[in-house]
Structure 1
């Protein structure tokens, strides 16, 4: 019984990440941009802890890896893109940035799940791309060029050292 509970603990942190991402989206839909942005930062806290807890308890699982990626695409892909879209002036560039940001995030996560790296990430991790958008959203600022640059950095071949 204790072993089953121990194996579930990291996934509870992942679910906290996902819950904050969903709450960010609903806060955005209700017009509370600052709250939506803060919830993405809280998601990052949960995302940081889930993997560390799993490793410290020695309960890493493929299920946990996949669940983490699904939570990350919501919390750091879709939610920040929606904040950006809600604040940006309508244009083709804005639409392109809004569409490409979560798509590139999903591609980056899929690439990592298929071919994990040790000691570094290939491309900008999706939390590192989503948090700047959340920060801009907190200050009610949006910029399509920054959003596009972050999107393309996620699928770039650059190496980013793991924390």
Structure 2
């Protein structure tokens, strides 16, 4: 069979993408860049690399807002778009903030537990949202409210870390010091990630989706 006849199959996925989906991919790209910049900071110890990593979170948030608005404007909602959005959010607002926290000095055993818990809560929260989105939308195109805090609220955590870096309060000077616990070290600042993760998976309150 001629290659030209096979070409449409190779590009079928691209044809299935909508304009909003490319903004979602930009969200994911910001998250990956944030992880890479956090790793770069660990080798360079240049403050600019840490701040650039933190800046990827609000950039990802901007693309996350735009993809939803564009989808509603163009009336292009799909299961692919919803899944793509969740996967991008896991990277940008779950893995990337955890990587930034690790780069900031939260590298003790109990910090690992706290950060892994945070990411797992984010994954669980997005999975729950996806399976309940249709019922929460009540037959409309838009979900009316969130159960628990949305995962993009983790931009607040990256803002705290960026402020700490600007003050020179990362690494050994991390806010609130460190606790020596059985089995390893815990930096109390990592408990903010535990709190954030717990709020994400909570079902005790609802937040209207604007």
Q: Which runs of 5+ in 2 are unaligned?
A: 1-13, 42-48, 137-142, 175-188
Cα distance, 1:93 vs. partner? 2.9
Deviation string, structure 1 residues 88-115 (Cα, Å, up to 9, x no partner): 3443331111111111000000000001
- Return the TM-score normalized by structure 2: 0.71
Distance 2:161 2:115 in 1: 14
- Name which of 198, 201, 204 aligns with 1:152: 198
1:23 has 2:40 as partner: no
- How do residues 70-149 of structure 1 correspond to structure 2 at under 5 angstroms? 70-116=87-133, 117=136, 118-128=143-153, 130-139=154-163, 140=165, 143-149=189-195
Deviation string, structure 1 residues 123-150 (Cα, Å, up to 9, x no partner): 110001x201210221225611111100
SS state of the match for residue 160, structure 1? Answer: strand
SS state of the match for residue 207, structure 2? Answer: strand
Cα distance, 1:75 vs. partner? 0.2
Would you say the 8 A contact 2:27–2:88 is kept in 1?
yes
SS state of the match for residue 124, structure 1? Answer: coil
SS state of the match for residue 59, structure 1? Answer: coil
Distance 2:106 2:98 in 1: 14
Larger radius of gyration: 2
The two structures, once aligned, show a CA RMSD in angstroms of: 1.8
Distance 2:89 2:113 in 1: 21
SS state of the match for residue 57, structure 2? Answer: helix
- Return the TM-score normalized by structure 1: 0.91
The structure where helix makes up a greater share of residues is: 1
